[in-house]
Amino acid sequence: MKPGMVSIVGAGPGDPELITIKAMRRIQDADIIMYDRLVNEELLSYAKPGARRIYCGKSPGCHSMPQDKIEQLLVQYGAEGYRVVRLKGGDPFVFGRGGEEALAVAEAGIPYEVIPGITSAIGAAASAGIPLTHRGLAASLAIVTGSRCHEQNAPVRWDELARGVDTIAVYMGVSQLGFIREQLLLHGKSAATPVALLENGTTARQRIITGTLDNIDKLAVAMKVTNPALIIIGEVVKVREQLLHFQNEVKSQIV
């Protein structure tokens, strides 16, 4: 049997209109769609009649399907000649395990492709009015996972991030916010450093909470911030305040 095609596709940061045209075409042509928890389910409505939808979502401490099973199914369906879309929130190669899945499919000799998506750090930050780089404020950016905070074998180097990076975007870090704050302060980051929490970025449920390293963990608790949420740390958060100020001025002039 002639092998099918496995498309590892980024669905973007939440707003279904932020998906790429190429990604949408693959969804429309797919025989099987294996999708993650953070994919906007509106995108599944574009699948052709009869397309099979398989939920592969993961949340902290709860995986509906083990990673090795996902990879096994990608290989199996590809070998059976199906057009398979592995649909992932954001970009599949940014904390999406897309690289692992691509390797599994490639090793099995199944044709595959990777279709990029707008990753959450870029999409959610822009939607919130926060540029990740900004002349005079930030010329460097680090994207970090908060889920590896306590791993001994490959710890996040908060010491180097605190001293050497202007903007830090932390994925999957809300539950570790107190630890992250403590580490950055310990290694020299100012307590006055602006911080933003972006919950459900780019969607109608988006919430934006801003503070500083000094108080952001308390704000997160008080506002009951939950996943999915992105943490942005750096002076660029101030740009949002400036944009809001100008927007309010324009509104007052119109009134």
Local structure of 86: helix, strand or coil: strand
Alpha carbons 87 and 16: distance in angstroms, whole number: 12
| Tokens describing residue 70 | 């996902």
- As given in the structure block, the two tokens for residue 110 are 């199944």
58 annotated active-site: yes
Q: Which is catalytic among the residues 15, 91, 172, 217?
A: 172
Question: Which among 68, 80, 83 is positioned nearest to 32, based on CA atoms?
Answer: 83
State yes or no: is 2 an active-site residue.
Answer: no
Give the Cα separation of 130 and 34 in Å (integer). 32
* Cα distance between residue 40 and residue 12, in whole Å: 9
Q: How far apart are CA 70 and CA 86, in angstroms?
A: 9
**166 flagged as catalytic:** no
Alpha helices in 80-172 (DSSP H): 98-107, 120-127, 158-164
Q: Per the structure block, which two tokens stand in for 202? A: 């780019």
44-56 in b/e form (b: 16+ CB < 10 A) is: beebeeebeebeb
Closest-CA residue to 128 (of 250, 251, 238, 253): 238
Kindly list the distances between the CA atom of residue 198 and the CA atoms of 24, 58, 141, in Å, as whole numbers in the listed order: 26, 20, 17
The active-site residue out of 5, 15, 31, 36 is 36
Task: Catalytic residue, from 24, 29, 58, 65: name it.
Answer: 58
| CA 148 – CA 179 distance, rounded (Å) | 11
* Total Cβ atoms within 10 A of residue 152: 5
DSSP 90: B
Which residues are known to be catalytic? Answer: 36, 58, 172
